[in-house]
């Protein structure tokens, strides 16, 4: 499986699933060998890498809840018996309880950045974007978009660390020329600032800067902001969706912005019913995600070496669509994403 090849999202679903299954079995073998927490949990469920013969067999692995995740010391989810390669460490916001932390090795981070670049690249209206990145560098999304845009040959100017009242984002943006703006639609939980907030302060912002591409995340783009951005000359709008434990794992469809194509590979995204089984096309369920792959320099998937999460319920529900999309991608779609 090559994580930098955009054909991965347009492949025949059976062919992609066969590659995901191989990666899954390799990852299960890895955690059984090196992570006592998972060795015990999988043994308790009677699961090993040889007993997973199809993605449907995943239902035998119990769903991990956020409460369970919080009850485990962070290092207990890291592989033992080798020198740890913890390159990136980021915490969740803690909306549903004590924040948790995830660690990525260098090859894990490469996989996440490359997969995000793969999802973004097909929506880029220019070959080498010049971006102002308004996301906080203390959280995951800021550094992730920075890394992904660099992979696309872009130049990225990051917002400073100052609070908004001390050094407003609008004043920072005036210091740069850029054609791509990386910013959420609305500020989340009163932190940072979103395009909707800036729009009220400076109605000609996007047109004056010549912004052609707006990139954001977590379904924060409302219809009013989308229409305003289009009217200001923005040609492409990319809205990523993910979770802080994993980073981005889906991107809005170019044809239907309310649908998110799952970027399978660095992670495995499922929508499951109350029994933990994958739902059928058109059915609602809970979103559960597995850390699946790191990536070597040539894009080939390798084992995920950092925090090991198999089937974590990320706290959201969605309706799953698995039929091919009119945009040309076959990657499964999440729609009607909502908190559960």
Nearer to Zn ion, 20 or 321 (CB): 321
By CB under 5 A, name the one of 87, 277, 327, 335 that touches Zn ion: 327
Q: How far is the CB of 166 from Zn ion (least distance, A)?
A: 41
Q: How far is the CB of 326 from Zn ion (least distance, A)?
A: 6
Stretch that binds Zn ion, among 36-44, 136-144, 176-184, 319-327 (CB under 5 A): 319-327
The full DSSP string for 260-271 is EEE-BTTEEEEE
Nearer to Zn ion, 131 or 321 (CB): 321
Nearer to Zn ion, 111 or 325 (CB): 325
Q: Quick check: 291 and 309 in contact, CB under 8 A?
A: yes
Total of chain residues touching Zn ion, rule CB under 5 A: 4
Nearer to Zn ion, 19 or 327 (CB): 327
Q: Counting contacts by CB under 5 A, is residue 119 touching Zn ion?
A: no
Q: How far is the CB of 331 from Zn ion (least distance, A)?
A: 8
Nearer to Zn ion, 144 or 321 (CB): 321
The full DSSP string for 15-59 is HHHHHHHHHHHHHHHHHHHH-HHHHHHHHHTT--GGG--SGGGGG
Beta-strand (E) ranges in the chain?
88-91, 101-104, 130-133, 155-158, 180-182, 213-217, 236-243, 247-252, 260-262, 267-272, 284-291, 293-295, 301-303, 312-321, 333-339
Q: How far is the CB of 117 from Zn ion (least distance, A)?
A: 18
Q: How far is the CB of 255 from Zn ion (least distance, A)?
A: 5
Looking at residues 218 to 257 of the shown chain, list those that interact with Zn ion (rule: CB under 5 A).
Answer: 253
Q: Quick check: 8 and 15 in contact, CB under 8 A?
A: no
d(CA 184, CA 220): 6
Interacting residues toward Zn ion by CB under 5 A: 253, 325, 327, 329
């Amino acid at each position: 499986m090559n994580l930098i090849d955009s054909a991965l999202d347009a492949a025949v679903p059976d062919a992609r699933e066969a590659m995901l299954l191989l990666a899954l079995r390799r990852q299960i073998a890895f955690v059984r060998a090196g992570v006592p927490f998972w060795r015990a949990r999988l043994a308790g469920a009677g699961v090993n890498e040889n007993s997973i013969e199809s993605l449907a067999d995943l239902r035998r692995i119990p769903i991990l809840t956020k409460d369970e995740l919080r009850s485990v010391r962070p290092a207990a989810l890291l592989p033992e018996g080798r020198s740890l390669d913890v390159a990136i460490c980021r915490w969740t916001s803690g909306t549903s309880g004590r924040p948790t932390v995830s660690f990525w090795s260098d090859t894990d981070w490469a996989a996440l950045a490359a997969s995000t670049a793969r999802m973004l690249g097909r929506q880029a209206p220019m070959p080498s974007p010049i971006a102002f990145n308004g996301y906080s560098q203390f959280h995951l999304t800021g550094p992730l978009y920075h890394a992904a845009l660099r992979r696309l040959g872009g130049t990225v100017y990051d917002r400073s660390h100052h609070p908004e009242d001390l050094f407003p984002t609008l004043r920072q943006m005036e210091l740069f020329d850029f054609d791509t703006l990386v910013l959420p639609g609305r500020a989340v939980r009163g932190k940072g600032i979103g395009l909707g907030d800036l729009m009220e302060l400076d109605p000609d912002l996007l047109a004056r800067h010549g912004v052609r591409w707006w990139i954001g995340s977590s379904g924060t783009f409302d219809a009013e902001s989308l229409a305003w951005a289009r009217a200001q000359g923005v040609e492409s709008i990319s809205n990523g969706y993910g979770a802080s434990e994993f980073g981005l794992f889906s991107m809005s469809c170019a044809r239907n912005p309310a649908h998110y194509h799952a970027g399978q590979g660095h992670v495995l995204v499922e929508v499951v019913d109350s029994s933990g089984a994958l739902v059928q096309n058109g059915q609602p369920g809970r979103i559960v995600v597995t850390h699946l792959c790191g990536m070597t320099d040539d894009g080939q998937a390798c084992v995920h070496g950092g925090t090991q999460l198999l089937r974590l319920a990320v706290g959201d529900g969605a309706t799953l669509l698995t039929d091919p999309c009119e945009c040309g991608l076959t990657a499964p779609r999440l729609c009607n994403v909502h908190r559960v």
